[in-house]
Structure formats: C-alpha cells, structure tokens
Chains A and B, each alone.
Chain A
C-alpha cells in the first residue's frame, strides 16, 4: 500500500489548511457538515493527484493519513469519499482502487488529438507504449501516463471516428485520423 507518495520530484504538495484540522479526519455525523467535508476532501484528493500525476489511488493511500497530526481518514470513510467522487465522475473504481480523473478521459482525448495535429502525426501509427514511454512524448503530459487511462481516452477518439485501435493486449497500436 505504500505507493510512491513522494517519489516524483522533490516539490511538496501544498496541503490546504483543512489538512491540519484534526476533525477533518473524523467522519462528521452532521449530514450537512459531512457533505462539506466530502467536498473538501474531494478537492484535496484531485489537487493532490494532479500535483503528483497520480492516476490510481486506493482508500488506504497515505494521503488519507496525516502522520504529523496522527490522524487518519479511515478506510471506510475514504471509500465513502471515493464513492461520492465517483458520482461526480471524478473517479472510477478498478478493483480495490480508483482511477483519479483530475483530467477526465474525454479531456485527455482532446489533448491527444491536439498533440497529434500539432506534431503532424495524423495517419501515423503509434503504439500505446510509445505514447506513454516513448521519446516522442518526452516533455508532454502524456509521458508516464497510466496505460489504462490512455486507452479510455483513445476509446473516446475511436467512438468519434478519430482513431482506430488495433493489435494485441500488450502491443496495442493506434492510428489517428
């Protein structure tokens, strides 16, 4: 579970003030307060994931544990939070964790389309590996992207007739139109 929380770069995520508020980590019994709490957590998780370019997150991720305060947003509470975020379309369950959509697949699709256009790669075939790990995408936002999220984005393009995916499981390629 000790996923890389501080592997990427040295820069620190600027936690909001709520994060040093002890009661923030206890599920609030008052309905209205709880809703406000979920909204705050939701914004925090998204900002955190965006900062660290995190694509997957589990309900036991270290972000839910404030070591300094010795407070923990317990797993069931975090699960409830993620479920709340799912209803807003901000996460999607995959087994025991979620994809965090700090950028939604359709927005990734739009970015990809623009990139393909800008780099004159229409009609070319790229492997998914090339997109996430290749030199061509170095310095772009796609580099290091989660493969499955990429596939979701590409499927949006396929649906709109802007791309075609072919190949086998681990050697998928895509052609843009």
Chain B
C-alpha cells in the first residue's frame, strides 16, 4: 500500500520528515550553542585563572604586563575599556570582574599618578611632558620598591583617562613621544620647533631659519607662541642670540649635561 508513495500518505510522510529535520536541526543548534557556551565558560575561567595566578607577575613585571595586555588586545578583549563601561550595566563589568583588583586597579592607580605629575609640572613645561620623563617621574613617586613601571604602562594609563575629556593624550613629535595634559593642539610650526629642540635641547631664531628655511619673523612668532604657552624657557645669558630651551631637557636624566658644580 505504500509502494507508490504518491498517495495522500506521502504528504504526511514529508511533513514528518521535515519536522524531524527541523527538530534535528534545532537540537544541533542547541548543542552547538551549548558547546560554545562551555568553551566560553572554559575560556573565561582559564583567563580568570591566568589573571589570578599571574596577578603578581602582571603587577610587578612590566614586560609581562605588556605581553598580557597585547594578548588581550589580540583576542579582542580590552581589559581597560571594559571596566570604564562598568557604569553602563552588567555586561561591561565582565572583564573588570575577571581582571579587576589586579590589572584594572594597577592602571587606574597609575593614571592618578600620571595626573599628579602632569599637573605638578604643568607650570614648568606648559603641559607637554616627554613620555620617558613622565615615566621616570611616576616611578620616582613610588619608592616602596614595589613595581617597575614602563613607558608602555604609562601610555595605557593615559588612555584610561580618555573618558575624562580630551585634554590627556599621547602625541608624537619627531622621534619622541609626549603626553599632553592641556586641551591644546600643536600647530605644524610649533611641532617643528619642539622637534628641533630635541636635538640640542634648545633652539634659536637663526638655528630655525637655517634648518627649516623659515623667515626670521616666522621663527620668532613660533618661539613666542611656545614661550607664552610655557613650553620653552629663554636663556638670555648666551653673549649672543637668545636660546630657547625645552623644559624636557631639564628633566632628562641622561641629559646633555652632567652635574654642574663640583664641591670643594
């Protein structure tokens, strides 16, 4: 009776098969999801475990910390950004929970110190401080001998300050990186002068004129601009042309000059 398979019963059968397919498909999907969920859970717990067992290393070893942060970036996890969104609800706190107490706090504490140093030195450098010098200053502040801090850490810490507004940023001028703590962009001319000052620690009008091919007035204008923003210090005791010094070289440890006075 069912040999032909073309009777009314065929409809039933095909309906049955398609239902079976559908249920099989959904069960497949379900198991897929389950597998993924398990994987995610495993991954989560592994990462958590990793962060916990290596919390000390993450806190104390700047190279390890940088590697860890890089790994997180590679797998699409931003250990810092996640916590800043913790205010936006449960999902945001995930990584903060996983890594919190070790990584997050580390960068936030560091960020606080970065802000301290930047605002303390703003008078002398106009809010532009070399990343290297800033790192040294920040490290000096924490003499307890605990954690070493790398420039990489400071950069990440500065990035955590982004939500506070546009004033904190990392900028590159020439071959040097700076942290800017004032909401002010350097013009191209200003950046050129800051870059030129990296070479000897200072610039002068004729030096700029000869090296950049600018007119005298343009050199003086840019210098005056930077002076008025506190980013250059003038030295009038040169017996010749005035020299304008970058305050960065004042803080540079491997600076151009050795200690000035020998004792008697």
Give A residues with C-beta under 8 Å from B: 5-7, 10-15, 17-26, 28-30, 32-33, 35-37, 39-40, 66-72
Contact = CB atoms under 8 A, between A and B. Distances in A.
B237 A36 contact: no
A15 B245 CA distance: 19
B144 to A, nearest CB: 22
A37 B245 CA distance: 13
B250 interface: yes
A36 B210 CA distance: 32
A6 B264 contact: yes
Interface string B242-255: 01110101111101
Contacts of A28: 233-234
A15 B234 contact: no
Contacts of A33: 123-124, 126, 227, 230, 233
Contacts of B121: 36
B243 A19 contact: no
A174 B246 CA distance: 54
A30 B224 CA distance: 10
Nearest to B263: A12
7 contacts: A7-B264, A15-B259, A17-B250, A23-B233, A24-B250, A28-B233, A37-B124
Interface in B110-130: 121-124, 126
Interface in B214-264: 227-228, 230, 233-238, 243-245, 247, 249-253, 255, 257-264
Most buried by A among B202, B250, B252: B250
Contacts of A22: 202, 235, 237-238, 243, 245
Nearest to B259: A15
Contacts of B126: 32-33
A26 to B, nearest CB: 5
Q: 9 tightest CB-CB pairs across the interface, nearest first?
A: A6-B264, A12-B263, A36-B123, A23-B233, A36-B124, A23-B235, A21-B250, A23-B245, A20-B260
A92 B260 CA distance: 28
B229 to A, nearest CB: 8
A21 B243 CA distance: 12
Most buried by A among B121, B236, B258, B262: B236
A23 B202 CA distance: 10
A40 B250 CA distance: 12
Contact of A32 (B123, B253, B257): B123
A26 B258 contact: no
Contacts of A19: 259-261
B233 A26 contact: yes
Nearest to A62: B261
A68 B234 contact: no
Nearest to A6: B264
B234 A23 contact: yes
Contacts of B230: 30, 32-33, 36
